[in-house]
């Protein structure tokens, strides 16, 4: 019996070592095929989409035009800067997302990774093909084989800081074709986040994708066609200078009573965020709107019970299913409240509000 156990242990050790070696070999082969990329500056045009602001429950996120898009990435610092010019993408405007955009809108995004940088921001760097290989090396990725749509991939996987696996799909040409993970979202729970890379071209010895599509929550949030790429040149990405520059994240404020306004007997306006109404009935409370986040909803629930004591919250009215007006619904459901909404939202909310209990594992 001991001999059998010893043999099994030896086989396990051999198998584990084999997987580790496969991962190292896969990373080495992909790094060689894709080239050494330390810095990159690329320009593109395309579209971005606003998460959770869809016109209808089954519709994709509303679309905006990126007239120009320039991104600099320093994988060594690491840091990233995006500058883009954005325009209205749908006429007439459909859905939310602060539509319509009148004329041209300048936007930028700066990420300089340090010990306090949220993982979801870091992923903007580590989900790029070359960034993924660097992260896979640093985080002792493991390798496996997978067939998707009849196509075979070697899949490298490591654990992200949010305790969700990050997986990169390496095709038969040793290109990182897809990277996927999950990120925490107040509405969608463990929300799918993926990036798909295609149409790789050679830029001074580096293979870089000229078509980039990112998806979150099952719909695209970016669709970019890359027009120019400069590799391994000087890149300067600095934090803004001036008052408050370089300051760390502010400490969370202590919990305080929310500002309220009595509108009439039994009707109260609750402020301090998206406005909510608490309305008293004979034996229960109705709250109109469960917005923004679980923290906001929890505070609203506490304030409604303070304003109208000794009665349960039996109903919460959801005015519409946009993510910013629905991300606080779960605490109301936990209170035993029934959601009142338009019938077109029922199937959508029923599906989404069950995601967290089934899939949510990372805080």
Query: Tens of pLDDT along 107-124?
Result: 999 999 999 999 999 999
For residue 97, which of 62, 135, 67 has the smallest C-alpha distance? 62
**Strand order from edge to edge, sheet including 39-49:** 105-112, 79-88, 63-74, 39-49, 219-231, 206-216, 189-203, 176-185, 165-170, 151-159, 142-148
C-alpha neighbours within 13 Å on the C-beta side of residue 150: 0
Q: Are 304 and 285 in contact (CB under 8 A)?
A: yes
Sequence-ordered list of residues with C-beta below 8 angstroms from that of 259, at least 6 positions apart, any chain: 270, 271, 272
Sequence-ordered list of residues with C-beta below 8 angstroms from that of 346, at least 6 positions apart, any chain: none
DSSP code of residue 224: E
For residue 273, which of 285, 258, 286 has the smallest C-alpha distance? 258
How far, in Å, CA of 31 to CA of 51, rounded? 33
C-alpha neighbours within 13 Å on the C-beta side of residue 160: 27
How far, in Å, CA of 62 to CA of 99, rounded? 9
Q: Are 211 and 225 in contact (CB under 8 A)?
A: yes
Q: Are 63 and 90 in contact (CB under 8 A)?
A: yes
**pTM across the whole model:** 0.78
Q: What is the pLDDT along the chain (363 residues), one digit of tens a residue?
A: 434 444 433 333 334 444 445 999 999 999 999 999 999 999 999 999 999 888 887 789 999 999 999 999 999 999 999 999 999 999 999 888 889 999 999 999 999 999 999 999 999 999 999 999 999 999 999 999 999 999 999 999 999 999 999 999 999 999 999 999 999 888 888 999 999 999 999 999 999 999 999 999 889 999 999 999 999 999 989 887 654 444 334 434 444 678 999 999 999 999 988 999 999 999 999 999 998 888 999 999 999 999 999 999 999 999 988 888 888 998 999 999 999 998 888 888 887 777 754 443 443
């Amino acid at each position: 019996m001991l001999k059998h156990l010893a043999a099994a242990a030896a086989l396990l050790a051999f198998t584990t070592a084999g997987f580790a070696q496969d991962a190292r070999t896969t990373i080495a082969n992909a790094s060689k095929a894709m080239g050494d990329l330390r810095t990159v500056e690329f320009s593109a045009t395309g579209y971005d989409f606003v998460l959770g602001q869809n016109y209808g429950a089954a519709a994709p996120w509303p679309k905006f035009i990126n007239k120009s898009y320039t991104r600099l990435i320093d994988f060594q610092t690491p840091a990233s800067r995006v500058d883009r010019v954005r325009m209205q993408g749908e006429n007439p405007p459909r859905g939310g997302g602060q539509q319509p955009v009148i004329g041209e809108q300048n936007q930028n995004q700066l990420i300089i990774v340090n010990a306090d940088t949220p993982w979801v921001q870091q992923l903007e760097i580590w989900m790029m093909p070359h960034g993924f290989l660097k992260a896979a090396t640093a985080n002792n990725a493991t390798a496996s084989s997978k067939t998707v749509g009849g196509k075979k991939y070697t899949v490298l996987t490591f654990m992200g800081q949010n305790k969700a696996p990050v997986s990169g799909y390496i095709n038969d040409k040793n290109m990182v074709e897809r990277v996927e993970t999950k990120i925490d979202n107040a509405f969608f729970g463990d929300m799918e986040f993926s990036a798909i890379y295609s149409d790789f071209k050679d830029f001074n010895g580096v293979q870089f994708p000229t078509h980039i599509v990112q998806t979150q929550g099952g719909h695209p949030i970016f669709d970019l066609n890359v027009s120019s790429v400069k590799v391994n040149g000087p890149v300067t990405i600095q934090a803004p200078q001036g008052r408050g520059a370089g300051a760390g994240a502010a400490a969370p404020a202590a919990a305080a009573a929310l500002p309220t306004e009595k509108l009439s007997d039994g009707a109260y306006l609750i402020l301090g965020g998206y406005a909510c109404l608490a309305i008293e009935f004979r034996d229960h409370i109705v709250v109109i709107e469960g917005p923004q986040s679980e923290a906001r909803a929890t505070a609203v629930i506490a304030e409604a019970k303070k304003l109208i004591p000794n009665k349960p919250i039996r109903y919460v009215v959801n005015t519409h299913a946009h993510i910013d007006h629905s991300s606080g619904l779960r605490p109301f459901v936990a209170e035993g409240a029934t959601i009142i909404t338009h019938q077109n939202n029922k199937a959508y909310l029923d599906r989404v509000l069950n995601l967290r209990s089934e899939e949510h594992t990372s805080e």
